Amino acid sequence: MQNKNVLLAVTGGIAAYKACALTSKLTQQGANVKVIMTESASKFVSPLTFQALSRNPVYTDTFDEKDPEKIAHIDLADWADIFLLAPATANIIGKVANGIADDIVSTIILATKAVVYIAPAMNVNMYEHPAVIKNMQVLADFGYHFIEPGAGYLACGWVGKGRLEEPETIIDVIKTHQGNRQLLAGKKVLISAGPTRERIDPVRFFSNRSTGKMGYKLAEAAYELGADVTLVSGPVDLKNPTVGIKLINVTTAQEMYEAMTDNFPNQDIVIKAAAVADYRPKITYDEKMKKQDGALQIELERTQDILKALGNRKTNQFLVGFAAETQNPIEYGTEKLKRKNLDAIVINNVAQEGAGFGSDTNIVTYVNRELEQHDIPQASKKEVANELFKLILQDMKDEKA
């Protein structure tokens, strides 16, 4: 935390008293701490307390402009390296999730480009309310990071989850995450995701069951590790990735081939997670094909083999492929690794429960050029993505050794 500019936002809950200890410990660890407070927060703890602990002015009013040469809330938003919202009430979570800016905290959080950490604290029933859960998911989709509350006796008398996490734990979580953000700092990562669609006529196409979830989680994980991420996505029913990830939308295998090869030369890590069509109709129609008696035959032709093309062009890139198999997955995946000149391949049996298309979980085996195998048991696709990057980074490190 040494020399980090931490903007601590305190909102109106009884857990505001813990923010005092949090301010003190952040300062002791070398952080530059400035505190902003809602009007409700100041009813629990005096701004003077935070001023004494942070050795900086405390801000409670959006319209209190202490320096006429600056717009205070924008200046604070720009100053921060880290924005920490602790405690975060259901009210402030709801405001930010819906873009409401009617006090100094909600205004600054919408204006800042800093990494945002949110530590909720509230009654267990509030924490589990569908509206609060929905709002937290919206903020998570924005790229904000949650530090989950602890469980135990709450000030209201209830026992359950909702107690603000201890200051030491909050700081440890932030330090770990900040450290991880440096693992891919300065690296360029190119990822493909989703299916492709091969047009037959204006209303019909060939495609597959890929949802793009794994590729999107890989892009999200790479971005959180500090990489400059480009995501080439086929047509998927997913929200756009985190702001900061360059998204290139494509439809056909040819479009994905062009996007991947065009962006390939200056990349450090390339992961082809997309399920690209191997074949496309040789003839397409401008008008809808009419139903006819008897069987229909459609002649297909091969599409470009994107992964093989990248393997042939590879210079310093660390190239990773995916192999979705239904039988003999390790055998077929390893053969693909060798044939396409890959540095590693991620193999999964899509017929296995918990690893198929559309699932929120995955079960994979990572195999590198040395044919070393690392099994990743069933876990969320985000957790699998993080594990894969650990293995990729280790192999890249070993190659340089």
What SS3 class is residue 103? Answer: coil
Amino acid at 36: I
Residue 206 neighbours by CB distance under 10 Å: 16
Residue in 67, 149, 146, 142 with CA at minimum distance from that of residue 112: 142
Choose, from 156, 185, 351, 371, the residue flagged as catalytic: 156
Question: What CA–CA distance (Å, rounded) separates 362 from 356?
Answer: 7
Strand partners, 33: 6
**Checking DSSP bridges between strand 228-233 and strand 188-193, what pairing results, if any?**
parallel
Question: What CA–CA distance (Å, rounded) separates 22 from 50?
Answer: 10
Identify the sign of the CA torsion 261, 267, 273, 274: negative
Residue in 176, 186, 114 with CA at minimum distance from that of residue 386: 176
Active site residue 20: no
Question: What CA–CA distance (Å, rounded) separates 116 from 201?
Answer: 47
Write out the two tokens for 155.
Answer: 């000030």
Q: How far is CA 5 from CA 27, 83, 157, in A?
A: 10, 9, 36
| Cβ neighbours of residue 276 closer than 8 Å, sequence gap 6 or more | 192, 195, 196, 234, 253, 256, 303, 306
Write out the two tokens for 198.
Answer: 């091969």
Residue 125 neighbours by CB distance under 10 Å: 12
Query: What is the set of active-site residues?
Result: 156
